[in-house]
């Protein structure tokens, strides 16, 4: 395991940080990516850090190419970046629509485009994206968010068809409410009932990254909690 490499995009957030820690503890050479250095400060010194805004389409390829040059081809890439916006279909603005699609869908596509050729060349790799329960079960008041998360699920199914023949596995995890420190600070207690701790979700992601999940391809993995 010590020779395997993992990139965690969004490692400054609650789920990204927990995922980076889980993979690092599992023996991966782990690189945490976040748009600010401050977001990466809580990571232990054993985790390598790259400051980059992965939501920018121009950033992903040079970022991945640099990591490949410095560390080697990643065996695992986990994309935890996401944006949330309340509003029903009658109140979606062009700005909200564009921003959520760029962050929730675009980031996943650009990161995959950047890393897939390297994984295909080595004949193996695992990519995990994070969608949401609303991508399958839309809820009132989250129209744009639900649309982007549904599109991300379908993107993963497309990527599975395209990349599985070359040995690259792509799966997607669907949380409902994550009990991050940020969510705990802004959500009322009733919304946090049954919320899943980031560490628990990180263990699911760690399993999907491992050889134990070798038969799991194009899976939509619900992690809704209680």
What pLDDT, on a 0 to 100 scale, did the predictor assign at position 138?
A: 85
CATH class for the region spanning 5-223? alpha beta
| Ranges of each domain in the chain | 5-223
Kindly list the distances between the CA atom of residue 4 and the CA atoms of 99, 107, 192, in Å, as whole numbers in the listed order.
Answer: 34, 23, 35
What pLDDT, on a 0 to 100 scale, did the predictor assign at position 132?
A: 95
What pLDDT, on a 0 to 100 scale, did the predictor assign at position 1?
A: 43
Residues of the chain with pLDDT under 50: 1-2
Q: Which residue has the tokens 């996401």?
A: 82
Q: Encoding tokens for residue 24?
A: 């690092």
């Amino acid at each position: 395991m010590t020779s395997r490499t993992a990139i965690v995009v969004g490692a400054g957030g609650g789920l990204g940080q927990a995922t980076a820690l889980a993979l690092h503890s599992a023996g991966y050479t782990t690189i945490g990516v976040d748009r600010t250095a401050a977001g990466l400060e809580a990571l232990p010194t054993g985790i390598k850090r790259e400051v980059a805004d992965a939501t920018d389409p121009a950033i992903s390829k040079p970022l991945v190419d640099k990591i490949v040059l410095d560390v080697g081809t990643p065996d695992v890439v986990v994309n935890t970046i996401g944006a949330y916006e309340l509003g029903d279909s009658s109140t979606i603005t062009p700005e909200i629509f564009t921003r959520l699609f760029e962050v929730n869908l675009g980031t996943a596509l650009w990161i995959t485009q950047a890393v897939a050729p390297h994984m295909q060349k080595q004949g193996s790799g695992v990519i995990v994206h994070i969608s949401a329960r609303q991508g399958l079960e839309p809820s009132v008041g989250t129209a744009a968010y639900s649309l982007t998360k549904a599109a991300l699920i379908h993107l993963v199914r497309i990527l599975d068809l395209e990349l599985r023949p070359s040995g690259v596995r792509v799966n997607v995890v669907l949380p409902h409410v994550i009990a991050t420190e940020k969510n705990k600070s802004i959500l009322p207690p009733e919304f946090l009932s049954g919320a899943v701790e980031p560490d628990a979700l990180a263990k699911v992601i760690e399993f999907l990254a491992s050889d134990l999940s070798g038969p799991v391809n194009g899976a939509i993995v619900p992690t809704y909690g209680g």
